[in-house]
Amino acid sequence: MRSWTTALALALAALVSVPAFAAEHKMRPGQYELKTEMKMDGVDRQIPPTTITHCYTDQDVQDYRKMAQEGQGRNRDCEISDLKESAGRVSYAMNCKSGTKGTAEMTFAGEGYEMTMNIEAAGGPHGPMKMKMHTTARRTGDCSK
């Protein structure tokens, strides 16, 4: 259970932080609503989607490497590698000291982005846990002061 919780926390941190890749993809600063749907292999019940809001500043959408590191909070367990950027798309790999690893692909527009992450966490009694997360983010306005 602990590795599932850790993997989920890392994935959610990535959802908030990695959109800073958008600097080269013309994502606008502002308040965004992020809706995430998750599926776990071997889990036959529906996991409810989560919705959060996040303010992306001018600085956020320009310095993606800094944001990716800060998104991990105090637990700087993961490294982003194999970063590829082209025409409104970004893909990367994530490797964590805990054994969690994953890949992500993002597609940007000025008012939002879509991201699909595939994550594999070192498993429990039945082996590695695999998760697929899909996030849709849309700009809802300016950040509140």
Model pTM score: 0.73
Q: Could you read off the pLDDT of 79-137 as tens digits, one per residue?
A: 888 888 887 788 888 888 888 898 988 888 778 889 899 999 877 677 788 899 999 99
Q: What are phi and psi of 16, to 5 degrees?
A: -80, -35
Tens digits of residue pLDDT in 30-81: 999 999 999 988 777 788 999 999 888 888 777 655 555 454 445 567 888 8
What's the pLDDT at 38?
92
pLDDT band at 16 (very low <50, low <70, confident <90, very high): very low
Band of residue 26 on the pLDDT scale cut at 50, 70, 90? low
